[in-house]
Amino acid sequence: MLTNLLTILPIFALIFTGWIARKSGALGPNATREVNRLVVYLALPALLFDIMANANFAVIWQPGLICAFAAGCAIIFAGTIWWRLAKGRHLADASIDALNASYANTGFIGFPLILSLVGDTGLGAALITTILTVCVLFGFAIVFIEVGLQAETRRDAIIKKTFLSLAKNPLLIAPLLGAAVMASGLTLPNPLERFLKLLGGAASPCALIALGLFLAGTKSFQPDRRKSTEGILITLKLVAQPLVTFVIAGPLLQLPALTTHSAVLLAALPTGTGPFMLAEFYNREASLTGRVVLISTLLSLLTISAYLAIVV
């Protein structure tokens, strides 16, 4: 429990920093959107490019782990979209809800947690799941959001408009360019690598500060019916996703115990800031997403500790 608390404490500190900055008037009402745009257009693309460009194919090619974690994400993501669409939710909003239920905070929490609980042997798993989450899953969510936003136009224009929107989206272009660099075998020059590290390093803290700014500017709590949705999304993230991942990794694929443990632990992480960034960027309802990120991070102290008590 103490290890988990120390791992997530900086997250709450950054969220609280944003909250204080907004409440004190140090940052104004437009700060949330502007900080979020900095993340979306500059910091996060640099981080995604850097992750992909420096990935070692020999390290990330672990088919069993990839299959188990990706299938867990896909099942929860697809199931949540189906549920939300059945409830009359717009496809763009349903996609963000699905991301809330399946987007594990593998980058900010995953690496230090795996390092402290599994050791260096688990860092490869953390890298793989980070790529799957922040590049692949994130990319699919953006595609669904764009399709949903363009669906209100003429059918013959949907494909063209969606393609043009995706082609201009830095969150999709950056990891694709990074993957091309990785495939080419080229090494990034030291000044460029340093630049990417500095810029990309701002992604997580700025996103968390933006979340704090948003929460400070929220004037009321969610209506009761939305609290029910919030609870379901958090349960899907903290309970259903790791459970599905365990079933796939263990009984179905019969992966080694350490691989299964790493996959489940990473799947059990709380919702990252990715869904919130998209909700703000696309001007969708961000209050539900902000609360899911905040509450799931807090509750993960209990759920991860319970999992560790069972398997250790």
Q: pLDDT tens-digit profile of 168-181?
A: 778 778 888 988 99
List, for residues 286-308, the tens digit of each pLDDT value.
Answer: 888 888 988 998 898 889 888 88
Give residue 109's pLDDT: 79
Domain ranges of the chain: 2-311
d(CA 119, CA 44): 27
Q: Supply the pTM of this predicted model.
A: 0.80
Beta-bridged to residue 18, according to DSSP, are none
* 31/166: higher pLDDT: 31
- Contact call for residues 100 and 133 (beta carbons, < 8 A): no
Q: Which two tokens stand for residue 177?
A: 């360019």
Give residue 63's pLDDT: 92
**CATH assignment, 2-311:** 1.20.1530
| Three-state secondary-structure class, residue 29 | coil
Tell me, what DSSP letter sits at residue 222? P
Neighbours of 163 (CB within 10 A): 12
Q: Which two tokens stand for residue 83?
A: 């549920």
| Three-state secondary-structure class, residue 104 | strand
Q: Which two tokens stand for residue 182?
A: 């990785």
Give residue 96's pLDDT: 94
Give the model's confidence band at 156: pLDDT under 50 very low, under 70 low, under 90 confident, else very high: low
Encoded amino acid at 78, one letter: A
Give the residue among 20, 33, 31, 14 at the shortest CA–CA distance from 216. 20
